[in-house]
Amino acid sequence: MRIGDPIIELSLKRFRLLRDLINSFCGIYFSDDSLFLVESRLTERLLFLGLDSFDDYYHYLRYNPKGETELEEMVDLLTTNETYFYREEYQLRAFTADILPELHRRLESRRRLMVWSAGCATGEEAYTVAMMIKDTGLFDDWDVRIFGCDISRQVLTHARRGIYGPSAFRCTRPELQARHFTKTPQGYKVKDSIRAMCHFGHLNLLDEERIVLVGHVDVIFCRNVMIYFDKKSKSHLISLFYDRLRDGGFLLLGHTESLINLSTAFELVHLSEDLVYRRPEVPHGP
Ligand SMILES: C[S@@+](CC[C@H](N)C(=O)[O-])C[C@H]1O[C@@H](n2cnc3c(N)ncnc32)[C@H](O)[C@@H]1O
């Protein structure tokens, strides 16, 4: 929206209906304070669809055959996709120093490592994980797969393309950028050896039927995704993550996030530089 563009008015009553629809679809929750943000971000979409009221838009979302696709479009316009390479580096250091060596020991006989970047946005998190795994040199002849998923199709297109501008590198040391990227006229492109380790797919994390298609994984990164969810959706997602993790698998959340009041199923592990969650190992018999 630009200054001077028309605004279609969103009443509090209609806002709350829209908010509940978004919440049950994908977990994101908007408090009443977000009314004007939602109004301004969606006005252009209504104009594009030829609708002149939020009543009509709500009706379209609920009853039009294209309503589900439109829900995705709407969520795309309302979500925050902010991300960058090597975000929250102290946690990544713990991943390299503690988690990867432990997984290397534990999975030696299987020689297969699966990591899931849940809510990967434009892919920087998934690629960072791949770069860190590669740089340990521990998994060179292993089958390593990093799966990045997001509810937004637009960010996934960017992730698959793997080309980034300067803001994606705000926390990347120059030698790492030189090692893992090739300069192109469009920006810095992730090298093929790293791209080959990463796969991206469209997934709503609250879609219970489709989430099982991820299979079982050894590590889940879900950082800065649930901060936008309400408590019920967070608890639900945590229980889905529990089911997807192998015994002893790790769950890494953003630095402002925790499982306090959400789940007691995980154990808290104190690593050299961070606290992370782990699905307990199955206790062995006597
Ligand atoms: C702020 S970004 C975080 C990116 C990255 N994990 C990081 O920490 O840098 C949050 C991402 O979560 C995605 N997201 C939000 N709700 C989702 C859901 N229900 N299913 C899948 N992705 C979701 C958004 O589309 C957005 O791209």
Please state the three-class secondary structure of the chain as a single string. Answer: CCCCCCCCCCCHHHHHHHHHHHHHHHCECCCHHHHHHHHHHHHHHHHHHCCCCHHHHHHHHHHCCCHHHHHHHHHHHHCCCCCCCCCCHHHHHHHHHHHHHHHHHHCCCCCEEEEEEECCCCCHHHHHHHHHHHHHCCCCCCEEEEEEEECCHHHHHHHHHCEECHHHHCCCCHHHHHHHEEEECCEEEECHHHHCCEEEEECCCCCHHHHHHHCCEEEEEECCCHHHECHHHHHHHHHHHHHHEEEEEEEEECCCCCCCCCCCCCEEEECCCCEEEECCCCCCCC
Q: Is the CB of 125 under 6 A from ligand 1?
A: yes
Rounded to two decimals, the pTM is 0.95
Q: Is the CB of 151 under 6 A from ligand 1?
A: yes
Among 46, 78, 110, which residue terminates a domain? 78
> 198 has which bridge partners?
146
Radius of gyration of the chain (CA): 21
Q: Is the CB of 253 under 6 A from ligand 1?
A: no
Q: Is the CB of 82 under 6 A from ligand 1?
A: yes
Tell me what pLDDT residue 1 has: 57
CA-to-CA dists, residue 90 to 75, 82, 103, 194, 217, angstroms: 31, 19, 19, 22, 23
- Same domain for 73 and 137, yes or no, is no
CA distance 194 to 54: 45
Tell me what pLDDT residue 5 has: 66
In the block, which residue shows the tokens 């309503």?
Answer: 67
Atom of ligand 1 nearest to the CA of 206: 19
Which residue has the CA at smallest separation from atom 5 of ligand 1? 120
List the chain residues with pLDDT less than 70. Answer: 1-6, 283-286
Residues 248, 281 contacting (CB under 8 angstroms): yes
- Same domain for 250 and 273, yes or no, is yes
- With a pLDDT cut of 90, the percent of the chain lying above it is 94
Q: What are the strands of the beta sheet with 198-202, ordered from one edge?
A: 198-202, 143-150, 112-118, 217-222, 245-253, 275-278, 267-270
- Same domain for 65 and 188, yes or no, is no
Q: Is the CB of 122 under 6 A from ligand 1?
A: no
Q: Decide if 1 is inside a domain.
A: no
Q: Decide if 2 is inside a domain.
A: no
- Same domain for 23 and 144, yes or no, is no
Tell me what pLDDT residue 283 has: 56
Atom of ligand 1 nearest to the CA of 152: 25
Top mutation candidate among 28, 225, 229, 233 for ligand 1, by most atoms within 8 Å of CB: 225
Top mutation candidate among 28, 150, 229 for ligand 1, by most atoms within 8 Å of CB: 150
41 is catalytic: yes
Q: Is the CB of 143 under 6 A from ligand 1?
A: no
Q: 271 CA distance to ligand 1 centroid (A)?
A: 25
Tell me what pLDDT residue 17 has: 97
Q: Decide if 286 is inside a domain.
A: no
Q: Decide if 285 is inside a domain.
A: no
Q: What residues make up the domain containing 268?
A: 89-278
Give me 117's structure tokens: 């970047």
Tell me what pLDDT residue 273 has: 86
Among 78, 101, 125, which residue terminates a domain? 78
Tell me what pLDDT residue 234 has: 98
- Same domain for 55 and 93, yes or no, is no
- Same domain for 172 and 266, yes or no, is yes
Q: Decide if 267 is inside a domain.
A: yes
Q: Based on the structure, what is the number of domains in the chain? A: 2
User: Could you tell me the CATH number of the domain that includes residue 65?
Assistant: 1.10.155.10
Q: Is the CB of 123 under 6 A from ligand 1?
A: no
Which residue has the CA at smallest separation from atom 11 of ligand 1? 119
- Same domain for 258 and 206, yes or no, is yes
- Same domain for 66 and 181, yes or no, is no
Give me 233's structure tokens: 């959706």
- Same domain for 108 and 241, yes or no, is yes
Q: Which pLDDT tens digit goes with each residue over 70-93?
A: 999 999 999 999 999 999 999 999
| Catalytic-labelled residue, pool 41, 93, 106, 210 | 41
Q: 283 CA distance to ligand 1 centroid (A)?
A: 34
- Same domain for 181 and 96, yes or no, is yes
- Same domain for 94 and 16, yes or no, is no
